[in-house]
Structure formats: structure tokens, C-alpha cells
Amino acid sequence: MPRRGLVAGPDFENFRRRYFTPVEVAQHNQPDDLWVSYLGSVYDLTPLAQKHKGDLLLKPIVEVAGQDISHWFDPKTKDIRMYIDPLTGAQRYRTPRGRFLHVPPQLPRSDWANDFGKPWWQGTRYEVGLLSAQTRNIRIINTLTSQEHTLEVGALESMWEILHRYLPYNAHAASYTWKYEGKNLNMEHTLEENGIRDEEEEFDYLNMDGTLHTPAILLYFNDDLTEL
């Protein structure tokens, strides 16, 4: 049975985020918490780093922790960029930072084996979500407490996903009606689909500071404690 006071929506105990902003990825920049993004997706390489802890071939990956490494890859093949080795005339992976995990050596060696299966950059085993190519700021104002918070959100995130971002500031966010300019928001839609336009480009064109006008979403508490 639905719990009284909660608006209809996803089960947040099992809710999984679809999008992550570049700022969020950048926060995971340690060997024991290592995220990267490439070709539009976000990957948690922490298990890989823990498995190969102390391996010198892990160093180039640790150096780019929290960063976007799309330039490592060929967008057509989704594989590491290749080049022709002038020494052997064979195709090799292009690794300017030095050879890293699962990249074969230039010449045959007895201490390297390709029994690891798929290289770490292929497949979705480490994928945690998509990278928000475009982000924007919104203000969320709790009309009950007058508290205000500014969030950076992905332009393609639904209102439910934005609500999930807001939960650390208000654990009862799903007990509120979300409104913009007096109209109830469709929680399945994005900000743009709800009529909350991103006017940053227009402000830039007018040489105005867009941070002076951040759209505000108002939260109204659903007081239904008298309902049976």
C-alpha cells in the first residue's frame, strides 16, 4: 500500500541515477574511489584499481582519475586509438602517458598474458551511468521552512532524478508538491519539457551574468495528516 503523504513515484531505495555531471565525476579522483568518463558514459574503475593495486601499469589510469578520457578513444571503433609503430610496422595502441592495463607490449614478452578476457574499456561491467553533456543550475525553495538550495543538474534529467539529487537536503522531498510559476511540475518530464527554459545562451549573447537569474522551483508540503 502507498505510504500516506508521499506523491506517486519511483522507489528511491532501489533508485538508480542515469546521469552524472562532470563535477560529480571529478570528485572520485583517488585510487580507492576512481571514476572516469569517456564517449558519453561514466565508469567506476575502483574494482579494477583494487585488483591491480601496486601494478605500474595502473599508474596512467590513476593519473586521470575523475577526468574525461574520451581523447584516448576512437569514437567509431570505441577502442583505444591506434597508430603504426615505426619500429615494427604493426598497429599499436596509442598511449602517450605510457602503456596501461590490458594494453599489449610493443614486442613479445614472457611476462604478459592476454587471459584477462575483454579489456577494461570494453563492455559495460564498470559503467555506472551517462555523462551529462549539458548542465544547468536551479534553485529549490522549501516554502514550509524557507530553506533554499542551488543544484547543478543535467539538462536531460527528469524531475524525479532532480528530486533524488535534492534528498540529502530534504529527506522528505517526495512529500511535497513541486511547482514552477504556480503550475504543478510533471515529475516524469525534464526541466525544459516543464517549461523551465535554459536561458544561459541568451544571457551570454546580451553580455549579462546568467547567475543573477536562476530559475526557482517552489516546494509545497502535502499536509494530509488529517486524512484517513
Q: What is the DSSP string of 71-120?
A: GGEETTTTEE-EEE-TTT-SEEE--TT---TTPPPSS--TT---TT-S-T
CATH code (residue 79): 3.10.120
For residue 12, being part of any structural domain is answered with no
Find the length of the chain. 228
Q: Which of 131, 156, 181 is the last residue of a domain?
A: 131
**49 CB contacts (<8 Å, ≥6 apart)?**
31, 32, 34, 58, 61, 62
**Phi, psi angle pair for 164, to nearest 5°:** -60, -40
Same domain, 40 and 92: yes
The one-character DSSP state at 185 is -
More confident residue, 62 or 16: 62
For residue 3, being part of any structural domain is answered with no
Instruction: Read off the pLDDT of residues 136-177 as tens digits, 9 standing for 90 and up.
Output: 999 999 999 999 999 999 999 999 999 999 999 998 898 899
Q: What is the mean pLDDT of the chain?
A: 88
Same domain, 57 and 124: yes
- 197 is in which domain, residue-wise? 134-221
Residue 43 pLDDT > 70: yes
For residue 209, what pLDDT band results from cuts at 50, 70 and 90? Answer: low
Give the span between the Cα atoms of 163 and 160, in whole angstroms.
5
Q: Which of 84, 106, 131 is the last residue of a domain?
A: 131
pLDDT at 88: 79
Counted domains in the chain: 2
Q: Model's pTM, two decimal places?
A: 0.85
For residue 228, being part of any structural domain is answered with no
The one-character DSSP state at 182 is T
pLDDT at 3: 45
For residue 100, being part of any structural domain is answered with yes
- The helix/strand/coil state of 49 is helix
Same domain, 61 and 138: no
Q: Which of 131, 146, 180 is the last residue of a domain?
A: 131
- Lookup: cell for 128: 555506472
Same domain, 36 and 121: yes
How many CB atoms are located within 10 Å of the residue 195 CB? 13
**Terminal C-alpha separation, the chain:** 13
